[in-house]
Amino acid sequence: MELGHLPVLADEVVTMLAPAPGSLQIDATLGGGGHTERILGATDPDGRLLGLDADGAAVARVDRRLRPRFGERLVLRQSNFRQLGRVAPEAGFGAVDGCLFDLGLSSFQLADADRGFGIRTGGPLDMRFDTSRGVPASDLLGSLDTAELTALFRRYGEEPYAPRIARAIVAERAAAPLRSAEELAALVERVAPRTPPGRRPVHPATRVFQALRIAVNEELDALQEGLTAALDLLRPGGRLVVLSYHSLEDRIVKRFFQQERRGCVCPPEVPVCVCGRSPRLRLVTRRSVTSSPSEIAVNPRARSARLRAAERLAA
């Protein structure tokens, strides 16, 4: 079977979504289609699922793998999930029972040496999920000044050595542009200290690569817009499930859930609510759910996963 990406917390995702036969589901991040396969299987014999991915290669791969089993029950679109509010109704998914976001990148993308996502895989520094839009990471590295690069590595990578790395990039590119993942990884390795002894060893360029990927794909804005659109599409009782892989993503999900659970957005000093907003979500998970040591042993990607789930209220 062509399945290079193991779905993270797959049982928990299905339990939280609780997909029923005949229901309508959305997988906003198809990847290898592992979650899609499990969700559609749970809606046998007549549930339908709309699957989205910004990456056309992911959509084509899932089409090849799952179409023979699910036929017309699987509806696929290449799209950024920030367009969900338009794409879903156009595809006949204007009111749905469940929506999953499994954020970040897939093992297929990480292993693809033409994409530049992987520190160890190497390749041209592109990092776009959708290679037909936006600018590749190498353009950002070639055009931003030291202050802008520092801010990017701090904001999206929480990188403590951001100024040092930014200065080194600007000095290096004066001689020749930085084009490959190998060159960037080697530069960061040269200027940023290694992980101190006793801490889990991570490559010193991990946070820089994360920051560039987030910036290139405008991931945090897309997440905020995707969550808002998904909530509007959910029927009362419908479930929203999100898997995030770093604190910046998880913070957005947590705040979104808290705000929609509270409803009212009036400042605390206002004695009576004037905004008129009522709660639209009930939390299904009070705290985030994480992977077991046995899952992490077979799937290292699961190590940083955090799952949060909420249910749409009638408001």
Ligand X SMILES: C[S@@+](CC[C@H](N)C(=O)[O-])C[C@H]1O[C@@H](n2cnc3c(N)ncnc32)[C@H](O)[C@@H]1O
Nearest distance, CB of residue 292 and ligand X, angstroms: 18
Cα–Cα distance measured from residue 208 to residue 27, given in angstroms and rounded to the nearest whole number? 29
Q: Tell me how far, at minimum, the Cβ of 25 lies from ligand X, in Å.
A: 13
Pairwise CA distance, residues 96 & 144, whole Å: 42
Smallest distance, ligand X to C-beta of residue 273, A: 34
CB of 169 to ligand X, least distance (A): 25
- Residue 76 β-bridge partners: 51
CB atoms within 10 A of CB 226: 24
Of residues 104 and 116, the one with the C-beta less far from ligand X: 104
CB 262 within 8 A of CB 271: no
CB-nearer residue toward ligand X: 153 or 245: 245
Rank residues 17 and 165 by Cβ distance to ligand X and give the closer one. 17
The footprint of ligand X (CB under 6 A) covers 5, 7, 29, 31-35, 52-55, 58, 80-82, 102, 104-106, 129, 222
**Residue 129 or 209 having the CB closest to ligand X:** 129
Structural tokens at position 125: 């520094």
Shortest distance in whole angstroms from residue 17 CB to ligand X: 12
Rg (CA), the chain: 21
Least distance in angstroms from the C-beta of 79 to ligand X: 7
The distance of closest approach from Cβ of residue 47 to ligand X in the complex, given in angstroms and rounded to an integer, is 17
Phi then psi dihedrals of residue 98, to 5 deg = -165, 150
Which CB sits closer to ligand X, 134 or 263?
A: 134
Closest CA to 113 of 122, 126, 125, 103: 122
C-alpha closest to that of 18 among 237, 231, 227: 237
Produce one character per residue of 144-161: b if its CB has 16 or more CB atoms within 10 Å, e if not. bebeebbebbbebbebeb
Closer CB to ligand X, 102 or 260, in the complex = 102
Smallest gap from Cβ 5 to ligand X, in A, equals 4
In the complex with ligand X, the residue whose CB is nearer, 40 or 284, is 40
Nearest residue to ligand X, by Cβ distance, number only = 31
Buried b (16+ CB within 10 A) or exposed e, 95-121: ebbbbbbbbbbbbbbbebeebbbbbeb
Find, among 12, 9, 64, the residue nearest to 33 by Cα: 64
Q: How far apart are CA 201 and CA 85, in angstroms?
A: 41
| Residue 103 contacts residue 244 (beta carbons within 8 Å) | yes
User: Would you say 29 or 210 has its CB closer to ligand X?
Assistant: 29
